[in-house]
Amino acid sequence: MPLSTQSQGEDEQYVLVASLDHARNLSNILKAITFKDHAIFNATPNGLKVTVEDSKCLQANAFIQSKIFQEFTIKEDMVGFQVNLTVLLDCLNIFGGSTTPGVSTALRMCYKGYGYPLTLFLEEGGVVTVCKINTQEPEEPVDFEFCSTNVTNKVILQSESLKEAFSELDMTSEVLQITMSPSQPYFRLSTFGNSGNAHYDYPKDSDMMELFKCTKTQTNRYKMSLLKPSTKALALSCKVSVRTDSRGFLSLQYLVRNDDGQICFVEYYCCPDEDVAED
């Protein structure tokens, strides 16, 4: 049920038009990065990148490639704006976000340019809702300078095994400590809570471990409160890549397969907790 009722004339005024047969494909992935209200949208001919940040210590990016959309027209090299993500998600689910097979909300998202609202046309079962969300001055996202050449340790795991660990993590612990090492314990998640400590060890030859490339023993602590939102991305994903660089910065990349079998990426960067001296 694509929205084909819009006149071509009106379309020409927009610098960005993106249509989706299933709005859920967008709302799901946006949920994986919803931990603050403000989201910076950056559209290029390759697709859409949505960034959310917290305290300049955590950054989440969702990448939705242009081919995910049934239509993706962009008239400039780059279109940027900022909107309230919670409001956007509420609009995308305005029909209740039903998961009944055969019933889905179609979306057409349009943006006229700087100073204009983001316009959403949502249609389900012949009913069309038009939402206009005011856009804000886009902020410049923090550059975490996470560069693949500085990566010291990297593992790729099937998400299933991490989901279990993250669902059980002791939330009374202020930090999550990640140890990555070429020797034992290889890959370890540790918490230090009220009732004692807990360690989750993944051997490098586990069949959940798709890649193990650790060059140096590294132990870093990350604020649990900062990492907690990433579990939403983990829940959606099928694979996760965990990387740390020489400064102890953490990069979590999630490969997310949507209902149509297409692939999107969500990425989290997190600063290490500074009171821990390295090694």
Partner 1 sequence: MDCVVTGGNVKVLAKAIHSLSRIGDELYVEPQEDGLALRSVNSSRSAYACFLFAPLFFSRYTIPSGPAFRCKMAIKSVQAVFRSLATLEKTVEKCHIELDEQKNRLTFTLHCKHGLMKTHNLSFQDSESLQAVFDKDSYANVFRSHPRLLVDTVVHFSPSLEEVTVSVSDDQMWVKNHVEDEADRSKAMLTELCLASDEFDNFSVQVHNSVTFCLKELRGLLVFAESTGLPISMYFDEPGRPVVLSVTDSVLEGNFVLATLSDDTDQRKNNTKRARTTPPPAPDDFMNDDMDSYLIAMDTSIMPGPSASRPPSPPLVNSTCLNHTAAANHRTRLHSEEEDEEEETVDSCGPPNKKFCSLFFGSVLPPSSQMTTQPLTGQEVLASDSEDDVQ
Q: Nearest approach, Cβ of 177 to partner 1 (angstroms)?
A: 13
DSSP state for residue 273 in the 8-state scheme: P
Is residue 195 within the footprint of partner 1 (CB under 8 A)? yes
Q: How far is residue 269's CA from residue 37's CA, in Å, rounded to a whole number?
A: 18
151 binds partner 1 (CB under 8 A): no
The Cα 219–Cα 201 span in angstroms is 13
Of the pair 112, 188, the CB lying nearest partner 1 is at 188
The neighbouring-strand residues paired with 133 are 118
Give kind and range of the element (H or E) at residue 44: strand 38-44
For the beta carbon of residue 112, count every other beta carbon within 10 angstroms.
15
**Looking at beta carbons only, is 38 or 188 nearer to partner 1?**
188
Neighbour tally for 200: CB within 10 Å: 17
Using CB under 8 A, pick the residue from 75, 199, 216, 257 that binds partner 1: 199
Q: From the CB of 164, what's the least distance to partner 1, in Å?
A: 6
Contact 49, 42 (CB under 8 A): yes
Question: Contact with partner 1 (CB under 8 A): which of 54, 71, 90, 201?
Answer: 201
Rounded to the nearest 5 percent, the helix, strand and coil shares of the chain are 15, 45, 40
Quick one: which of 148, 196, 274, 277 contacts partner 1 (CB under 8 A)?
196
The continuous run of DSSP H or E covering 190 comes out as strand 187-193
Cα–Cα distance, 37 to 57 (Å, whole number):
16
Cβ of residue 35: shortest distance to partner 1, in angstroms?
Answer: 23
Distance of alpha carbon 256 from alpha carbon 266, whole angstroms: 7
* Residue 205 contacts partner 1 per CB under 8 A: yes
User: Which of 3, 156, 208, 255 forms a contact with partner 1 (CB under 8 A)?
Assistant: 208
The interface region with partner 1, picked from 50-58, 202-210, 234-242, 257-265 by CB under 8 A, is 202-210
Q: Give the x-and-dash track for 70-89 against partner 1 (CB under 8 A).
A: --------------------
Q: Is 183 a binder of partner 1 (CB under 8 A)?
A: no
Residues in contact with partner 1, counted by CB under 8 A, come to a total of 21
Give contact residues for partner 1 (rule: CB under 8 A): 161, 164-165, 167-168, 170, 193-203, 205-208
